[in-house]
Amino acid sequence: MNKYMIHGGRPLSGTVTISGAKNAAVAILPAAILVEGTCRIENLPNISDVNLLLEILAYMGADVRRLSPSVVEINCAHVRNHVAPADLVRRIRASSYLIGAQLGRFGHAKVAMPGGCYFGVRPIDQHIKGFEAMGAEVEQIAGFVEADAPEGLHGGHVYLDIVSVGATMNIMIAAVLADGLTVIENCAREPHIVDLANFLNAMGAQISGAGTNVIKVRGVKHLYGGTHTIIPDQIEAGTYMTAVAATGGSILVENIIPKHMDCITAKLREMGVQITEYDEAIRVERGEKPLRKTNVKTMPYPGFPTDMQPQIVTCLALASGTSIITESIYDNRYRYVAELCRMGAAIQVDGKVAVTEGVPYLQGCEVKAYDLRAGAAMVIAGLAAHGETTVEDVHFIERGYEDIVGKLQALGADIKRVSAAPDTTVNDAAG
């Protein structure tokens, strides 16, 4: 078990380069199953979720060659419809995309219910609704999702009851090789959905409308190989931007698409953070003045992203005045608040609403990363706090942040990754 040791109170300065988007990569890799030739994927983030998916693909028969930490070649010509190892699948939420990919290529899929971070109920009913609209029969049996389309998938019309990123992407993947036209309405519009469509189109798919609320997929007979470069990670960039907001200092965030950051930069500017945009970079500066309060409501893109909610709350815990945060996407995303309160934050949670009364400073202590983005928030809190902070369960953080310790060290942070001895304490089971 590893943990991060942080000595806070240092402003950040320098340049940080953003990696490829996790949320794009974890959909693009399963989608490679549909491609008969070799896919070359560039700007791939070197994170544990990506490494798990590459391991799953190799188990299924794919020829996976990692040419560098950020470039991989995948040939799925010899992939067989194997059941992916349940122990791997249950460690990652994005394994659900294997259902759409296998169903699209083989007409059958059997995948263990996906895992990943827990911050509320995240059913896949909208995914299933889409598969059924294309002629599949889907059952959830003994912890597995089984989907069958013996005659192959056909085009269908799907109206999503809620705006779901996962369902939008999974239905797109399944529809690529289906017979006829599939129309998906009430789609999510996130940048990584557009990136998935661009990847599939580069391989020969016919997808239009990605980035709008209606996506049309006209099925093709085959996908062939090609090259695709993954977009920069909006959430990673936002995390470093909020770190500067919390600690002070000035950094240049490189390898980003500033337009993707609008929803985040708008809130930081409201809080008094100076932001200067360039073609592929943003400078973020915070002077001596305290942060200002603001209200935040998470929304589907182009609204404020739920994956940035813990990070912005950490900043608002240090802002002057009272801020109100409303979480409209997930029903249990405030588990980390108790950790911030242990550090001295004054935050009250009532359902999906958190009320934050800014405090002058946070005090370092031992905290846990309850999920990926909550873990990033703990790191930000530690960087801003007085004294030493220990962040445990950092495997959650490393699911989605490439070399976060190294990147922060380069910005002047006093942070290190250390190995902790496993806990050998035996506890009596209750109940």
Q: What CA–CA distance (Å, rounded) separates 94 from 23?
A: 8
Q: What CA–CA distance (Å, rounded) separates 77 from 68?
A: 22
Residue showing tokens 């259902």: 99
Q: Given CA atoms 7, 13, 17, 23 in this order, what sign does their dihedral have?
A: positive
Of the candidates 61, 32, 67, 30, the one whose C-alpha atom is nearest the C-alpha of residue 46 is 67
Tell how far CA 234 is from the center of its chain. Answer: 9
Beta-ladder partners of 385 = none
| Cα atoms found within 13 Å of the Cα of residue 106, Cβ hemisphere only | 22
76 in active site: no
Of the candidates 334, 336, 358, 191, the one whose C-alpha atom is nearest the C-alpha of residue 263 is 191
Q: Could you say which of 39, 117, 187, 315 is catalytic?
A: 117
Q: What CA–CA distance (Å, rounded) separates 6 from 349?
A: 27
How many residues are given for the chain? 431
Tell how far CA 123 is from the center of its chain. Answer: 17
Tell how far CA 359 is from the center of its chain. Answer: 30
Residue showing tokens 């002058």: 360
Token reading at 38: 């070799």
DSSP of 342-367, one letter per residue?
Answer: HTT-EEEEETTEEEEE--S--B--EE
Q: What CA–CA distance (Å, rounded) separates 173 from 252?
A: 36
* Phi/psi at 201 (5° precision): -65, -35
Cis peptide before 191 (omega within 30 of 0): no
Distance between first and last Cα of the chain: 28
Sequence letter at residue 366: E
Burial 397-416 (b: 16+ CB within 10 A, else e): bbbbbbbbbebbebbbbebe
Sequence letter at residue 56: I
Residue showing tokens 């980390």: 336
Active-site residue list: 117
